[in-house]
Amino acid sequence: MAVLETLLSATDDAPAWGLSICRDADLGPGTVYPILDRLSERGWVTSYEESGPHPGRPARRFYELTGTGREQATQALEARKARRFGLGLAGGAA
């Protein structure tokens, strides 16, 4: 869910890239990259390589939700929120 939240909050001016997703979701790359692979296989996420200069480091791979992915991610997060409030739980990330 934290990966979905991170992808939903990405913008054209601040796109989500691999290690930024790890940082923002507070998850390691061994967790995040398999999630991104599964989301891509399901058609929820597309990715593209950074264009333009990137001196001293490899090009970043940016990830963004597809229309379907944005819809499904929003529904999943809303369902989680409804379950939490239905159980009297508040806050915290899953």
Q: Which of 10, 1, 23 is nearest to 65 (CA)?
A: 10
pLDDT of residue 94: 46
Q: Which of 48, 45, 61 is nearest to 4 (CA)?
A: 45
pLDDT of residue 83: 83
Unique residue bearing structure tokens 């508040």: 90
- pLDDT single digits (tens) 29-74: 999 999 999 999 999 999 999 988 888 999 999 999 999 999 999 9
| Helix 2-9 with 67-86: angle, nearest 10 deg | 130
Fold entry, domain 2-86 = Arc Repressor Mutant, subunit A (1.10.10)
